[in-house]
């Protein structure tokens, strides 16, 4: 599979820092904020955003992780045996401003599933979306509030996000499926 780098490690760090600062600016600080990462890469991205917010404000905001596999409307098309990961939301979401985090925004189906899963934990005041890469190609009316990189990807191409937490170095690759 042929690939080339869309974002280097340094560019990813800059994008995450920019997203984190935009979140703080929009909310005038970390009060009433919580961050929830979607498994798998959204979890690592959310942890990094949370750390930058802590470094900037000296406050540790609530954090959770969300598995959306059983909420997907297309899980039976992906596999007959979905791998279920752990959802860990140990704070009350009622009335909170939630920053939902994922690595790549494509069709919008993952985010729709994440919203369904999140609502099982209560009704937040607001939910905003932070994405490292928006690749276009939406099937649902979902839009990110915070984006590291906007790009257009052809149907025969795929975005692959690699974080050092899952092996390798931080990078975003554009891969040709052929």
pLDDT at 81: 52
User: Which tokens in the block code for residue 118?
Assistant: 């999140």
User: Which tokens in the block code for residue 48?
Assistant: 């990094």
In terms of residue numbers, what domain contains 68?
Answer: 3-75+83-176
CA-based nearest residue to 137, from 156, 118, 165, 116: 156
132-159 pLDDT tens trace: 999 999 999 999 999 999 999 998 999 9
Who's near 104: CB < 8 A, 6+ residues apart?
A: 41, 131, 132, 133, 134, 135, 159, 161
CA-based nearest residue to 163, from 74, 62, 40, 58: 40
Q: How many domains does the chain have?
A: 1
CA 39/CA 99 separation, integer angstroms: 14
User: Which tokens in the block code for residue 33?
Assistant: 């904020």
CATH number, residue 33: 3.40.50.2020
78-128 pLDDT tens trace: 455 555 567 899 999 999 999 999 999 999 999 999 999 999 999 999 999
pLDDT above 80: residue 178: no
């Amino acid at each position: 599979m042929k690939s080339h780098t869309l974002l280097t490690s340094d560019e990813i760090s800059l994008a995450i820092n920019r997203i984190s600062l935009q979140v703080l600016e929009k909310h005038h600080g970390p009060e009433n904020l919580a961050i929830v990462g979607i498994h798998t890469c959204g979890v690592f991205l959310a942890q990094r955003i949370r750390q930058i917010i802590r470094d900037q404000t000296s406050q540790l905001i609530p954090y959770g992780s969300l598995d959306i596999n059983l909420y997907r409307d297309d899980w039976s098309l992906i596999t007959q045996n979905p791998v279920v990961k752990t959802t860990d939301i140990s704070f009350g979401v009622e009335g909170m401003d939630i920053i939902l985090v994922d690595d790549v925004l494509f069709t919008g189906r993952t985010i729709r599933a994440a919203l369904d899963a999140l609502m099982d934990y209560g009704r937040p005041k607001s939910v905003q979306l932070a994405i490292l890469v928006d690749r276009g190609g939406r099937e649902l009316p979902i839009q990110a509030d915070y984006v590291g990189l906007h790009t257009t990807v052809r149907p025969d191409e795929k975005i692959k996000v690699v974080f050092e937490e899952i092996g390798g170095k931080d990078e975003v690759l554009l891969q040709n499926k052929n």
